[in-house]
Structure 1
């Protein structure tokens, strides 16, 4: 078999580069999009996504993980014919699930939107345009899971970047074209797509649902491009399994047995992913619904807090809940940057830890798990703390509403635990406990629902309640997930030695960034504040990583092209050697 896998850190690096590109492309998409359609339009955009994600997860999330895990297991046992058959049997399953999920999104969206905000159901066009992406995304999941199980992260990386580029180009152009066409029509006839508008502000409001749908069109077409990219890679590159290996491989299991095993493995993971995405749906439902009630009973409190940051026409048209949800959506976009980084480690860790678990080597398993946790801490802690401490300058730099910065204080801290939870769940799945993430997520979701419902209904807390509920939920999941991982593997996880140094480095960097922020604010207010404070954060964190010798020689040796930098760091005693 041709070597296709890149190993844990090599595979994670490929995905990290892809994630980095996708997030940069996403920033170039969402920042201008926010300028084009504003907070209310972003509310429609975010609502469509929060309906899409749970349905997509229910249909597909468990199967890529199940395919990856079963492919990795069979590779370790040299059952190459089972590997091939797994790919074949997954295609009809995904076709059926993708079709049903698309139909559910088309038929169930209107009643849901009527529940969360009866006064403003203008997110429907965006939801309907996004629905086909569920179908195409489910087919893409076949190839991603298959190659991730082979340890080859390139197809996932290529397809995600291609999808993001399509979203950027087509989504922005379509949203801009819709708004431009609407304003032209209003200037010539006083209408917007046939609907009378009394002023320019009202004309803009009438165009927003269709502009949000135009932005979503880029996402849907991007899902098609992603599928085509994966299919072409599969046809051209293949999977590296030679004919000789297939001939020498044991007879494959019957299709029915493989399908049962696939479903049995996938269902717990899918339910867990559904629970994660239901948390976003909870935010959408309770946040808008409860704030609508607050606006009826205590509008003076809410407008006293946020009136200066909201557009007068949004207040007049009763769109304050949608506008606040748009601010929350923008904060959530920044929140999701951190879990997106560790998702790469979760995907790469699954075949690595599965192989270690299957081999029965305790030393190999312990090394795999501790490497994942240590590298994850090295990334999540500084990223989350920076988002929280520098939330105001970051929101200002990106052109977001100041309300977004206030929400990000809590969501930044929550992103640390949300990001750590992803690889923890992957490792629990790798050691055969696919049910534990689901059980923990169900409890976490109940906690989040309770906190969100109570807190968002308190006028003085309002939208901040959703951020606090998210923080508490993911703290619970991470704490008990680590405890479960230690128990299942019979390992004593040395948490302080794993997380202590990254935490100290992050706190020192945050203190430096905060001080620079306040200093620059007096001299060069505005976007310079964010740039200088973030630069200070990065420099101090980098210094602390070297000074505290958080990086290890084995980490660098696992990455290609790092021989020279390893020698330099080794010469100055800036990298560690000893096992944790």
Structure 2
């Protein structure tokens, strides 16, 4: 390994700020990928794309088995004790584990893809499924380094690797999708065939190309995971981990390799089961939404088709691909829904080493402050974002995806999913804190119950013709509502700490109600003089302004949170001068 510079750790909010900044950059890049991709491959292609992704999720979770979080937690714990030799041993022990599980995961996806596609009745998703398979191995190898550096409270490697991954998805994925679609349609125009198979019309030709265009988009994900691993591997070899020779010299003797592996496995397995349950939840949407709507189309298609008259293209009805089309509409709503918990996931990653350190040292006052900081920052972002998505569902969907016949379907789902995004945002941070205080089993148990709720609601609600795709949104909302309330209850019980919930949730809720009212009113007024999209942007701008002013007037921001930011002392002084923080 190359020389190691002096190690510098980051506070919770500093680390969260780094990860949040990277998430925002990644999401911006993701929007530049996903939005044009939706225009290129439409709802059908997006259905194939997300079918592959949601099958990939549980297998990836099974392959990693919670080891990234386990590595982060054990490295943080060892760092608190000054056991730097243990930290190095943890890293060495994790490499062969991930190579083995990544290879098994790759094989599972390759050999299980065909069976899964047959079960959900969507064999056109097979090209995308096969293209995504190698990403499991590369993602497993990437997870070794991300968990390791996060445990050392250095969020920069994770942040940079995520940006590399997103840029690859944008450049490679979007280019490949456009190229394949162009080549396929060019062949049809010249020969009347698509990749050697005759097509009856232009619509049928485009429908035949879309599965391969979706696979081209997925190729960007696979290449991105490979480049992300390559960056982390080279960075570790060249720059090291920041642990100095002096740190190692003063460190106590390390645990044996056998004990290290045993600790990793004991910590990782419960976390891995929980993480797998989250990804299984996504696969539940994919499976039940398509299979149950397929049943509706066989038994009572008139109700659904009249409900969405003019929104579903005739080619989908004739080709019997309505389930995949509606899953594509749901996927569009899911894209916007995931923006909110994706940001707060950074808070959970950054919180884990800090809460672990406070709990390990037995500092109850510091532990309470750390818990409240995580919950407060999560609430400040998630409540207005989720409520805003619900209130402005139609205009936001139009702004992002453009005016398209299927927009009302996506908008109705997004109203429900917007509220669900608030509760989903708390899931990762609260579960991370439970894991940080040693209760890695509780998130697993709670997720098992939440997943049962989701499966039951999806199965019954999606199968009702009048509800159909909206049932998947309702199942998501109910699942995350239960998980948030139950996890917070368990966290308070395990730590013996009762955070100031009224202040944490009350003030952001009041400010969010005001900002949503401002958004709706401003958009309505501006729509008389501006275009639809410009009036929506004006409404969003008014919401941000009103929300910021409301937070300052309500003194919802805490001085301790500001101090954890880079140059927080200067910022705190300015805000204190005007009486805007407490």
TM-score per shorter chain, which class? over 0.9
1:406 CA displacement: 1.2
Match in the other structure for 1:529 = 535
- The answer for the alignment partner of 1:387 in structure 2 is 389
- Structure 2 CA distance for aligned equivalents of residues 20 and 308 of structure 1: 36
Q: TM-score, normalised by structure 2?
A: 0.97
The normalised TM-score by structure 1 is: 0.97
* Residue number among 277, 280, 288 corresponding to 1:286 in the alignment: 288
Q: Compute the displacement of 1:237 (Å).
A: 1.9
Aligned counterpart in structure 2 of residue 407 of structure 1, from 404, 407, 413: 413
The partner residue of 1:354 within 330, 343, 356 is 356
Q: 2:10 aligns with which of 6, 14, 21?
A: 6
1:485 aligned to 2:491? yes
CA shift for structure 1 position 568: 3.0
The reply on whether 1:509 has 2:485 as its aligned counterpart is no
Quick one: distance in 2 between partners of 1:510 and 1:72? 40
Backbone CA RMSD of aligned residues: 1.2
Deviation at 1:479, TM superposition (A): 0.2
State the partner residue of 2:190: 188
In the TM superposition, residue 549 of structure 1 has moved relative to its aligned partner by 1.1
Q: CA deviation at 1:562?
A: 4.7
Cα drift, residue 249 of structure 1: 1.6
1:242 corresponds to which of 238, 241, 244:
244
What is residue 66 of structure 2 aligned with on the other side?
62
Query: Is 2:271 the counterpart of 1:269?
Result: yes
Shift of 1:318: 1.0
**Aligned residue runs from structure 1 range 358-437, under 5 A:** 358-399=360-401, 401-402=406-407, 403-437=409-443
Q: Per-residue deviation at 1:493?
A: 2.7
- Corresponding residue to 1:494 among 500, 503, 516: 500
Q: Residues of 1 paired with 2:319 and 2:374: CA distance?
A: 50
CA displacement, residues 263-318 of structure 1 (integer Å, 9 cap, x when unaligned): 00000000000111111110011000000111122211111121212222112111
C-alpha separation in 1, matches of 2:198 and 2:525: 50
Q: 1:542 aligns with which of 536, 548, 551?
A: 548
Deviation at 1:525, TM superposition (A): 4.6
1:326-383 CA-to-partner distances (Å, cap 9, x unmatched) read 0111111111111111111100000000000000111111111111111111011011
1:476 aligns with 2:482: yes
1:74 has 2:78 as partner: yes
Segments of 5+ residues of structure 2 without an aligned counterpart are none
The aligned counterpart of 1:459 is 465
Q: Tell me how far apart the structure 2 counterparts of residues 186 and 330 of structure 1 sit (CA, whole Å).
A: 29
Question: 1:551 aligns to what?
Answer: 557
Q: Is the contact between residue 75 and residue 151 of structure 2 (CA under 8 Å) also seen in structure 1?
A: yes
1:61: Cα distance to partner? 5.0
Equivalent residue number for residue 572 of structure 1: 578
TM-superposed CA distance for 1:524, in Å, is 3.3
- Residue 160 (structure 1) aligned to one of 162, 167, 173: 162
Deviations 1:157-213 (A, max 9, x none): 000000100100010110000010011100110000011111111110000000000
Q: Please report how far the alpha carbon of residue 565 of structure 1 lies from its aligned counterpart in structure 2 after TM superposition.
A: 4.0
Work out whether 1:342 is the aligned partner of 2:348.
no
Q: Distance in 2 between matches of 1:519 and 1:460?
A: 34
